[in-house]
Structure 1
Amino acid sequence: MVQIAATDGPGARPGLLDRERIIARPGFNRWLVPPAALAIHLCIGMAYGFSVFWLPLSRAIGVTQPVACADLTLLSALTTTSCDWRISDLVWIYTLFFVVLGTSAAAFGGWLERAGPRKAGVVAAICWCGGMAVSALGIASHQLWLMWLGSGVIGGVGLGLGYISPVSTLIKWFPDRRGMATGMAIMGFGGGAMIGSPLANMMMNHFRTPDSVGVWETFLALGAIYLVFMLAGAFGYRVPPAGWRPDGWTPKPASKAMITHGHVHLRDAHKTPQFWLIWAVLCLNVSASIGIIGVAAPMLQEIFGGALVGAPDVGFLDFDEQQKLSAAAIAAGFVGLISLFNIGGRFFWASLSDHLGRKATYAIFFVLGAGLYLAAPMLAGGHALALFVLAFCVIASMYGGGFATIPAYLADIFGTQFVGAIHGRLLTAWSTAGILGPLVVAYMRDAQIAAGVPRPQIYDTIMIVLAAMLAAGFLCNLAIRPLAERWFIGRTELAEIQAKLRPVDAAHEGSFGIGRGGIDTRAPLAWAAVGLPILWGVWITLDKALVLFR
Structure 2
Amino acid sequence: MAISFLDRERSIAAPGFSRWLVPPAALAIHLSIGQVYAFSVFKNPLLALQGADGAVWSLKEVGYIFSIAIAVLGLSAAVFGAWLEKAGPRRAMFYAAICFGAGFQIAALGASLHSLALIYLGYGVVGGMGLGLGYISPVSTLIKWFPDRPGLSTGLAIMGFGGGALIGAPLGNTLMAYFKAAGHANPIPLTWITMGSLYFLFMMFGVFTMRVPPPDWKPAGYVPKAATGLVSTHNVAVEQAWRTPQFWLLWIVLCTNVTAGIGILEQAAPMIQDLFKGRITPGAAVGFVGMLSLLNMAGRFFWASASDGFGRKATYFCFFTLGPVLYFLMPYTGSDHINSVPLFVVLACLALSMYGGGFSTIPAYLKDLFGGFNVSAIHGRLLTAWSTAGIIGPLIVNGILDHYKTAGLNRLDGYRLVLYIMASLLVVGFIANLLVRPVAEKYWMRETLAGAVDAPAH
Q: Does TM, normalized by the shorter one, top 0.5?
A: yes
Equivalent-residue separation in structure 2 for 1:463 and 1:133 (angstroms): 35
2:70: which partner in 1?
A: 98
Equivalent-residue separation in structure 2 for 1:464 and 1:235 (angstroms): 46
Match for residue 34 of structure 2 among 33, 45, 63: 45
On the 8 A contact 1:59/1:67 being kept in 2, the answer is no
On the 8 A contact 2:166/2:291 being kept in 1, the answer is no
Equivalent-residue separation in structure 2 for 1:143 and 1:467 (angstroms): 36
Equivalent-residue separation in structure 1 for 2:315 and 2:382 (angstroms): 19
Number of aligned residue pairs: 449
Deviation at 1:418, TM superposition (A): 0.7
Partner amino acid, structure 1, of 2:192: F
1:407: which partner in 2?
A: 363
Whether 1:267 and 2:239 are equivalent positions in the alignment is yes
Equivalent-residue separation in structure 1 for 2:183 and 2:99 (angstroms): 32
* More off after superposition, 215-224 vs 16-25: 215-224
Deviation at 1:123, TM superposition (A): 0.8
On the 8 A contact 1:291/1:439 being kept in 2, the answer is no
1:151: which partner in 2?
A: 123
2:251: which partner in 1?
A: 279
1:473: which partner in 2?
A: 429
Deviation at 1:122, TM superposition (A): 0.7
Deviation at 1:54, TM superposition (A): 4.3
Deviation at 1:459, TM superposition (A): 4.0
Partner amino acid, structure 2, of 1:33: V
* More off after superposition, 160-169 vs 187-196: 187-196
Deviation at 1:57, TM superposition (A): 4.8
* More off after superposition, 51-60 vs 220-229: 51-60
1:228: which partner in 2?
A: 201
SS in 2 for 1:288: helix
CA pair 144-120 structure 1, distance change in 2 beyond 3 A: same
CA pair 459-94 structure 1, distance change in 2 beyond 3 A: closer
2:157: which partner in 1?
A: 185
TM-score by length of 2: 0.89
Partner amino acid, structure 2, of 1:234: V
On the 8 A contact 1:100/1:156 being kept in 2, the answer is yes
Equivalent-residue separation in structure 1 for 2:450 and 2:208 (angstroms): 27
1:210: which partner in 2?
A: 183
Deviation at 1:458, TM superposition (A): 4.5
SS in 2 for 1:490: strand
On the 8 A contact 1:96/1:152 being kept in 2, the answer is yes
Q: How does 1:310-349 map to 2 (within 5 A)?
A: 316=277, 323=278, 326=280, 328-349=282-303
On the 8 A contact 1:292/1:438 being kept in 2, the answer is no
Equivalent-residue separation in structure 2 for 1:364 and 1:69 (angstroms): 52
Match for residue 93 of structure 2 among 102, 121, 129: 121
Q: How does 1:395-474 map to 2 (within 5 A)?
A: 395-445=351-401, 457-474=413-430
Match for residue 24 of structure 2 among 26, 29, 35: 35
Deviation at 1:56, TM superposition (A): 4.4
TM-score by length of 1: 0.75
Deviation at 1:480, TM superposition (A): 0.5
Equivalent-residue separation in structure 1 for 2:274 and 2:187 (angstroms): 33
CA pair 337-218 structure 1, distance change in 2 beyond 3 A: closer
CA RMSD of aligned residues (A): 2.8
SS in 1 for 2:76: helix
On the 8 A contact 1:347/1:401 being kept in 2, the answer is yes
On the 8 A contact 1:289/1:396 being kept in 2, the answer is yes
Equivalent-residue separation in structure 2 for 1:115 and 1:108 (angstroms): 10
Deviation at 1:485, TM superposition (A): 2.0
Match for residue 166 of structure 2 among 182, 194, 197: 194
* More off after superposition, 473-482 vs 294-303: 294-303
Q: Deviations over 1:393-421 (max 9, x none)?
A: 11111011111111111111111111111
Deviation at 1:473, TM superposition (A): 0.7
Q: Which has the larger radius of gyration?
A: 1
Structure 2 runs not aligned, ≥5 long: none
Whether 1:294 and 2:250 are equivalent positions in the alignment is no
2:210: which partner in 1?
A: 237
Equivalent-residue separation in structure 1 for 2:164 and 2:305 (angstroms): 20
On the 8 A contact 2:257/2:358 being kept in 1, the answer is yes
Equivalent-residue separation in structure 2 for 1:388 and 1:233 (angstroms): 37
Q: Deviations over 1:13-47 (max 9, x none)?
A: x9321112212221010001000001111111112
1:539: which partner in 2?
A: none
On the 8 A contact 2:291/2:349 being kept in 1, the answer is yes
Equivalent-residue separation in structure 1 for 2:233 and 2:77 (angstroms): 25
Q: Deviations over 1:431-464 (max 9, x none)?
A: 1111222323344456667888755555444443
1:359: which partner in 2?
A: 313
* More off after superposition, 230-239 vs 84-93: 84-93
On the 8 A contact 2:105/2:193 being kept in 1, the answer is yes
On the 8 A contact 2:60/2:399 being kept in 1, the answer is no
SS in 2 for 1:480: coil
On the 8 A contact 2:66/2:390 being kept in 1, the answer is no
SS in 2 for 1:218: helix
Equivalent-residue separation in structure 1 for 2:348 and 2:105 (angstroms): 36
Q: Deviations over 1:108-151 (max 9, x none)?
A: 10000010001101111111112222333444555443332222
Match for residue 482 of structure 1 among 434, 438, 442: 438
CA pair 365-493 structure 1, distance change in 2 beyond 3 A: farther
Identity fraction in percent? 52
Q: Deviations over 1:456-491 (max 9, x none)?
A: 555444443322211111111011111122212111
Partner amino acid, structure 1, of 2:41: V
Partner amino acid, structure 1, of 2:231: I
* More off after superposition, 289-298 vs 456-465: 456-465
Partner amino acid, structure 2, of 1:128: F
